Amino acid sequence: MSRRIVPPLVSGTLFGAGLALGGMTDPARVRGFLDLFGAWDPTLAFVMGGAVIVMAIAWRFVPGMRRPLFAEKFALPDRTDLTPKLIIGAALFGIGWGIAGLCPGPGVAALAIAPASAAVFVLALLAGMGIVRLTERSS
């Protein structure tokens, strides 16, 4: 195995384990979070809060670093990245997330826990990615 694949593999595994431990592979929890006027479930808020705390700490180290540990340079977004295509994609992502109760990370992690139901989501995700690739090539 190439040494370049190890950091993303380790971070992806850690991310997936965190999602599973946080209950984010259960679509009912995600839908419960989005149900503000019904049986609201705050679990996702705690998972997001934990992620924000970790990133806030990590960002304190970035200014003192000449470059990332596993890349040649930092790739930070700027205001020019905010395009109509990105906004439409974000809206579609949110709609799909609300309907399915899963986003890509938890969907893939759910393959290990509930493969039958997660497979439908992952196949739809892959189909959507394929459609985007096809439409981008033709334009």
Give residue 135's identity as a one-letter amino acid code.
T
Q: Are 33 and 41 in contact (CB under 8 A)?
A: yes
Q: Is the pLDDT of residue 139 over 70?
A: no
State pLDDT tens for residues 14-32.
888 888 888 888 888 888 8
Instruction: Quickly state the pLDDT bin for 56 (edges 50, 70, 90).
Output: very high
Q: Is 42 helix (H, G, I), strand (E, B) or coil?
A: coil
Count of beta carbons in the 10 Å neighbourhood of residue 125: 17
Q: What is the pTM of this model?
A: 0.66
Question: What sections of 71-110 are H helices per DSSP?
Answer: 84-100, 104-110
What does the pLDDT read at residue 57?
95
Query: What does the block give as tokens for 103?
Result: 């986003």
CA 99 remoteness from chain centre: 16
Q: Are 19 and 109 in contact (CB under 8 A)?
A: yes
